[in-house]
Amino acid sequence: MIDFQDSTRMRPPMTTLHLDTERNGSNNGVAVSEPFVATTFDPALGVWSLTRDLRVLFATPVAVRLLLDDPNREPSGETLGELVPAAVLSPIRAIVEQVVADGRPRALRGFWGDARLRSTFVRNEDDRIEGDVIVVSRPDPIGMPGATETGDDLVDLPFAYFRELSGLSTRQLEVLSLMGLGLSRDEIAKRTYRSPKTIDTHQATLRRKLNASSRVELSMLAQRLGLTQEIAQLPRVEPIRSIR
């Protein structure tokens, strides 16, 4: 049994995840520990088990939904190179190697899919659970502290994977992020050095592309996603093409 505890200002005082691995199975020729109990105060929490060479031993459904394009995909037995864009592998590999070597938790934060996520990497110290590292992924809204109370080192991805938002231009993403801050049309125009009429055009395009009925709905969407002006300007990574 592993208890993963994460305290933040955004949640109840403690979030505890229980993984019970009495059931064992195999997938794609790889022995996996299959968690059949995952109890948490936060249903948005996703959990992975990785080997040091980045092979997935198990992933909870929430983890698959958060990180993969295909929510029905069973990633057990695959390597991360088969699942995520190549640009992401280098920082993940570095973090896994560091965590395995010194046992100190690390966190990787980035805009992934259509929200800002934080994945915390913890060395597996339980012999009953297969894998070298346990990864816990969860939404990372604006306002979350830079480091959790567990003392993990935080690394920010230098790019973004926009998934459903990939149809938006950089300028449209920027306008959307500023709407999330509650800025008026004129304030956004001043911040972006554009005319109010141009901002009106961007907002109309955003409502159409995102199927939003109002400016307020767009603002709430930006807040929920954790979209910032800095994220909107990050280089983009392309989705991986399924090999299946």
Tell me the per-residue pLDDT of 25-75, one tens digit each, with 9 for 90 and over. 433 333 333 333 333 345 678 888 999 999 999 888 888 888 887 888 889
- Asked if residue 18 has pLDDT above 70, the reply is no
Which residue's structure tokens are 């965590």?
99
Provide the pLDDT for residue 96. Answer: 95
Q: What is the pLDDT of residues 130-167, one digit of tens each?
A: 889 999 888 876 654 444 444 568 888 888 988 778 88
* 118-129 pLDDT tens trace: 899 999 887 777
Q: Tell me what pLDDT residue 29 has.
A: 31
What CA–CA distance (Å, rounded) separates 2 from 16? 9
Domains parsed from the chain with CATH numbers: 2-156 (3.30.450.20), 164-232 (1.10.10.10)
Distances (CA, A) of 75 to 11, 64, 84, 142: 29, 8, 11, 30
Which pLDDT value is given to residue 153?
80
pLDDT at residue number 9: 33
Are the C-beta atoms of residues 198 and 174 closer than 8 Å to each other? no
Quote the tokens at residue 69.
């394009």
Q: Contact at 8 Å (CB) between 189 and 198?
A: yes
Give the whole-angstrom CA distance, residue 138 versus residue 129: 21
- pLDDT by residue (tens digit) across 60-115? 888 888 888 788 888 989 999 888 888 888 899 999 999 999 999 999 999 988 78
